[in-house]
Amino acid sequence: MSEIPADLRYRDSHEWVRVEDDIAVVGISDHAQDAMGDLVFVELPEEGVVFAAGDEAGVVESVKAASDIYAPVSGEVVAVNEALEDEPELVNNEPYAGGWLFKIKMADSGELKEMLTADQYQEQIDSE
Amino acid sequence: MPYIPHTPDDVQAMLQAIGADSIEDLFDEIPAHLKAGHGLDALPEGRGEMAVTRLMAERAEQDRFALSFLGGGAYAHHIPAAVWEIATRGEFYTAYTPYQAEASQGTLQVIYEYQTLIARLTGMDVSNASVYDGASGLAEAVLMSLRANRKSKSRKVLVPDALNPRYRSACEAIVSNQDVELVSVPFCTDAGQTLVDSLSPFEGEDYAALVISQPNYFGSLEDVDALTDWAHANGMLVIAVTNPTSLAILTPPGEWGEQGADVVVGEGQPLGVPLSSGGPYFGFMACKKKHVRQMPGRIIGRTVDMEGKQGFTLTLQAREQHIRRSKATSNICTNQGLAMTAATIYVSLLGPDGLASVAGHCHANTQKLADKLCAIDGVERAFSAPVFHEVALTLPQDADTVLARLAEKDILGGLSLAKDYSMKNAILVNSTEVHTEGDLDLFAQALKEVLA
Amino acid sequence: MSNETTLIFQHSRPGRSATAQAPKPVSEDQLSAIPASLRRKNKPGLPEVGELEVVRHYTNLSTKNFAIDKQFYPLGSCTMKYNPRGANRAAMLPGFLNRHPLAPASHSQGYLACLYELQNFLKEVTGMKGVSLAPMAGAQGEFAGVAMIRAYHEARGDDARTEILIPEAAHGTNPATAVMCGYKVREVPVGKDGDVDLEALKEACGPQTAGLMMTNPSTCGVFERQIEAISKAVHDAGGLLYYDGANLNAILGKVRPGDMGFDVIHMNLHKTFATPHGGGGPGAGPVGVSQRLLDYLPTPMAGLDEEAGDYHWIDTDTLPTSIGHLSAFMGNAGVLLRAYFYAMVLGREGMIRVGEYSTLAANYLLKRLEAIGCQAAYPERRASHEFILTFAKQAKDNHVTALDIAKRLLDYNQHAPTIYFPLLVPECFLIEPTETETKEAMDDFIDAMAKILEEANTNPETVTEAPFTQPVRRLDEVKAAKELDLVWSE
Ligand SMILES: Cc1ncc(COP(=O)(O)O)c(C=O)c1O
């Protein structure tokens, strides 16, 4: 059973968002990291890039798969998790903590309402 | 039944296990009106190995022997007998791509050794396991440079006119579908070189990369340091196109200018692969480590097994089509593995000194040939730049006519530059270590007669 | 099997070399025309070894490979049939081997004759109107095909077509190719019976459709029964139909892609025409086209002047609408000669037998494997020349995956089938025995599978930790990808 913290919002493509004031911290869910297996590489966006919600923002790679990461909300990338360059396994080991991917300064926090709650996300996984 | 081993009893037993009455029943899901009816009537009857071998031997015989001085991207070299005797061992010849690593350590280790050889010859950090040939390899390098040059938004790449025109046209055919534009850089018609001066019109504009060919199509050696530094100063990557034999004695692209080239490609054929009418050859491709995730094609890595023992495996597969599909770095799947295997054996046999003396003989013979031919009235070097193992000459008469008359004497006296460069009277000649002094004299004598 | 694990570089000793092979060194004087600034400063770190050591090293390495010449090699989608030795000898005849690719036609009549006849042979076998032998592998054949589709639409000023449709079960080269040709990819779902979801396809077709790429039999190992309806849907929308010929072996002599309505196809001669895979290549991927794409075929091609009776090259100067050259010269010429040999040995009857006996072998193997407890992915369907098994049950019940079973097969001296392709079927094997294997060879494979299924129940570790008998155990691929070691350093 994978962990799905109740205080986060989710996208159906398995990204999560944690809101810290007007900043959205983005990562991938425990379920997603488990399905991917050991990550060997994470490609992150550059700081300063501006995304619309749903834009391709990065890639996570395991030995046998690669999966696109989409920006869950619109806004400018203000930080990326540089530790992942050497330790992509952080995403496997602590997907909701040290394994975060990047932070977006939200242009429209209303978009969060469009995202799935923990319960809704759980339902989606169950139906897969 | 050629290559089908079944006896009538086998066939019966198999049909019985399936529960079918006839082989035809097995095709019952195919709509009836689609099935044959045509009977393949235009095809010949099958023949045994003896008859087909004889037919092909006669055909091969028909391709008359000629004393050849053709180059243009494919070069005659001595190939040690061991190279193809080993490469065509069934274990190499009839294996598939090494997807099951534990059962493919032979092929995998050969590729790892090959990657090392190419990296060392080119002075680069990493190499892939080959692409189809030099020309398509250039197309891959151009596409790669668009991905790798993060600072540039351009879909344009600068390509010298002095690049092999066959590379140019294949590259164009491959990249043009993605709206990539190859922009021409003229060469100096006195020197036969691409001068930094001729690049000044492009300064301050956004191009993803500059292609540098060393040697260029005319055999001329370019001032690669200056060209490389110019490209880097203008925010472009450098794609080097080189001849692998020459790299035994010439500065490797990894050491060009201040920072070295970013991507290196070339035709691997000179390394132990026969001329064989144009293929199978292999394209080699190497790059700086920071660009490795943008490289197309297979890559092998050294690792350990669960007991800690050294082993080799495909790696960085997330770049490739079988995983990344529409977002892969290229559609390439099958590559040129066997030719690459032959090249690995060839380079191991020659070693650094052997390869350097092959390169040295190519150069020395070409110089000698040029001198002998230029001693004929009206024959001159077309350009002033120093050359590696190919040289452009102007003749006092129409090149195509002269070459045709030489061919009648079974001498293939070079390639005409008329069509590609509108140099009606110019030819491109090559000599390698396979030519004796007598061969060079024969050519000179024949040319003299034809021109007389 | 050899234990050779040292690299050729580790055999190196300064000053050693295969002295019979290289010419004597030239003097510095003879190199004086090359400016010093362009000369290499240090000699490259290539191995310095004697001839016997090289021969021994690579001979020993070769013994660590599985190969058709040694083992049953039922790799689905790859058609690992016997590669006739006679084809190799014929292609390596000195007349062919020493011919320079730019030699004039006067010195190439024999070679051109072989190519011309091969073109015609492939035309007849596939029912297409024209064939070019230029592409160097299946994927490049795909590229040529889709580039021709693009050229066709462009020539008609029909530039709204931006999409290529591809069934979700397709090989990865299909979507990768479409993108290389500047198209967007739209995937079409595949139904439970392995056929394309026709309704979904019809919905996906429209004025933006440039074409559809598909294999038939499909990558699900079954014949696509609605092929005519598919063809109609795509053609009605103004798109063209591309045939990925990787599975041509199944229908050779039975159904011709041209008769099924395909506009353009590629063939994998390294599959269907028995040329070797060489540990990864080379192959050859000729393309065939219907009437409306004839003008766009890639060059060069072989032509015949029937009156004079001599052969010539057809190039872009006589076919300016061609999509052009895909290589510097004439593709993988030596592979084409091997395929020509095979075609001539088999001839008409032989071609027809290929489809029949490869299909017989696959259906036999499928039925026998089902009888020992393997689960077919499409149990209601006939196998084509290949079929899919799924081990989802073993994965769930015993934690034994398709990968584990594949590795264990190696211990039984059987090469594993293709695994995890198509992605659509969980824990799958794609198995293709080919027409050149004996019944006994297939029976041995069945026995091995029976033992492994038993082991999966009684002693799963022997499967999940396999192989035990190979030069190496399972490799740490995560380490390989994270700590990149791609070239040797001393
Ligand atoms: C279904 C299918 N399509 C296309 C290809 C690509 O062919 P190639 O590897 O010759 O490029 C393959 C083989 O690998 C295949 O199995």
User: pLDDT (tens digit, 0 to 9) for every residue of chain C, 490 residues total?
Assistant: 456 689 999 999 999 989 899 999 999 999 999 999 999 999 999 999 999 999 999 999 999 999 999 999 999 999 999 999 999 999 999 999 999 999 999 999 999 999 999 999 999 999 999 999 999 999 999 999 999 999 999 999 999 999 999 999 999 999 999 999 999 999 999 999 999 999 999 999 999 999 999 999 999 999 999 999 999 999 999 999 999 999 999 999 899 999 999 999 999 999 999 999 999 999 999 999 999 999 999 999 999 999 999 999 999 999 999 999 999 999 999 999 999 999 999 999 999 999 999 999 999 999 999 999 999 999 999 999 999 999 999 999 999 999 999 999 999 999 999 999 998 899 999 999 999 999 999 999 999 999 999 999 999 999 999 999 999 999 999 999 999 999 999 8
Number of domains in chain B: 2
**Same structural domain for residues B417 and B301?**
no
B275 and B411 belong to one structural domain: no
- Domain match, B172 and B307 both: yes
Q: Which of C78, C143, C146, C173 gets mutated to test ligand 1 (max ligand atoms within 8 A of its CB)?
A: C173
Q: Domain spans of chain C?
A: 8-62, 86-346
Domain match, B289 and B426 both: no
CATH of the domain at B410: 3.90.1150.10
In the structure encoding, which two tokens stand for residue C310, read together? 């001599």
Last residue of a domain, one of B285, B316, B344: B344
Residues B154-173 pLDDT 10s: 999 999 999 999 999 999 99
Domain co-membership, B333 together with B359: no
CA B247 to chain centre: 15
In a domain, B22, yes or no: no
Residues B359 and B444 in one domain: yes
The closest residue, in CA terms, to atom 12 on ligand 1 is C246
Does residue B314 sit in the same domain as residue B412? Answer: no
| CA C73 to chain CA mean position, Å | 14
Domain A9-109 has CATH 3.30.499.10: no
The answer to whether the beta carbons of residues A71 and A26 sit under 8 Å apart is: yes
Å between C395 CA and nearest CA of chain B: 20
Count the neighbouring beta carbons within 10 Å of the beta carbon of residue C441.
17
Mutation test of ligand 1: which of C244, C247, C265, C268 has the most ligand atoms closer than 8 Å to its C-beta? C268
Paired tokens of C328? 């510097």
DSSP string, C173-200: HHHHHHHHTT-EEEEE-B-TTSSB-HHH
* Residue B26, domain member (yes or no): no
Query: What is the Å distance from ligand 1's center to C130 Cα?
Result: 22
The domain spanning residue B138 has which CATH number? 3.40.640.10
Q: Rounded distance, CA A58 to CA A80, Å? A: 11
Lookup: tokens for B435: 């030519």
Distance CA B392, CA B377 (A): 16
Task: Indicate whether B332 and B357 sit together in one domain.
Answer: no
A57: buried, middle or exposed (CB in 10 Å: 19+, 13-18, 0-12)? buried
Binding site membership of C216 for ligand 1 (Cβ less than 6 Å)? no
Question: In the block, which residue shows the tokens 């995890």?
Answer: C420
Phi, psi of C32 (to 5 degrees): -65, -20
Q: How far apart are CA B36 and CA B17, in angstroms?
A: 26
Considering the domain architecture, whether residues B72 and B85 belong to the same structural domain is answered as no
For residue B339, give both structure tokens: 């030719």
The interface pTM score, or ipTM, of the predicted complex is: 0.97
Q: Are residues B202 and B258 in the same domain?
A: yes
- What tokens does C264 get? 């353009």
CA A65 to chain B, closest CA, distance in angstroms equals 6
- Contacting A residues, span 59-118, partner chain C, CB-CB under 8 Å: 61, 63-64, 88
CA distances from B239 to B17, B149, B208, B387, C257 (A): 59, 12, 10, 20, 41
Q: How close A61 gets to chain C, by Cα (Å)?
A: 10
Domain end point (choices B344, B365, B381): B344
pLDDT of residue C28: 95
- CA dist C331 and C336 (Å) reads 9
Which residue from B342, B389, B341 is spatially nearest to B367, judged by alpha carbons? B389
Of all protein residues, whose CA lies closest to atom 9 belonging to ligand 1?
Answer: B334
CB-based burial label for C129 (10 Å; 0-12, 13-18, 19+): middle
Residue among C475, C486, C402 nearest A63 (CA)? C475
Q: Do B332 and B364 fall into the same domain? A: no
Same domain? B329 vs B206 = yes
Domain range for residue B161?
81-344
- Report the pLDDT value the prediction gives residue C4, as an integer from 0 to 100: 66
Question: What are the residue ranges spanned by the domains of chain A?
Answer: 9-109
CATH number of C86-346: 3.40.640.10
| Closest among A13, A122, A125 to A60, alpha carbons compared | A13
Report the alpha-carbon angle B140-B143-B146, nearest 5: 150
Helix, strand or coil for residue B220? strand
CA B421 to ligand 1 center in whole angstroms: 38
The minimal CB distance from C136 to the residues B93, B98, B279 is found for B279
B392 bridge partner residues: B428
- Cα angle B278-B281-B283, degrees, rounded to a multiple of 5: 125
Is C475 in CB contact (< 8 Å) with chain A? no
